[in-house]
Amino acid sequence: MNKKTIYIIVAVLIVVIVVGVAAYALLYNGGSGGQSTPTPTPTATASVANATSLEFTANITSQGITVTHVFYGKNIGTSNLTIRLEILGGEAGNWSYILNTGQEKSWNSTNNGAWASSNFTADWAFWGTRWTNLVTNLKNWSGTGDYSYTSNGNAVTISCITVNPKLSDSLFQAS
DSSP of 123-141: HIIIIIHHHHHHHHHHTT-
What are the tens digits of pLDDT across the range 116-169? 999 999 999 999 999 999 999 999 998 889 999 999 899 999 999 999 999 999
Torsion of CA 106, 125, 38, 149, to 10 degrees: -170
For residue 50, is pLDDT > 60?
yes
In this prediction the pTM is 0.72
Mean pLDDT over 85-114 rounds to 94
Nearest C-alpha neighbor of 164 from the set 37, 45, 26: 45
Residue 89's pLDDT is 86
What SS3 class is residue 104? Answer: coil
Across the beta sheet with 94-100, the strand order is 116-118, 105-110, 94-100, 82-88, 65-74, 53-62, 154-163, 147-151
Distance CA 41, CA 45 (A): 9
Residue 46's pLDDT is 61
Confidence of residue 5 (pLDDT cuts 50, 70, 90): low
Higher pLDDT among residues 56 and 175, named by residue? 56
Give the residue among 174, 157, 147 at the shortest CA–CA distance from 69. 157
For residues 47 and 167, the model is more confident at: 167
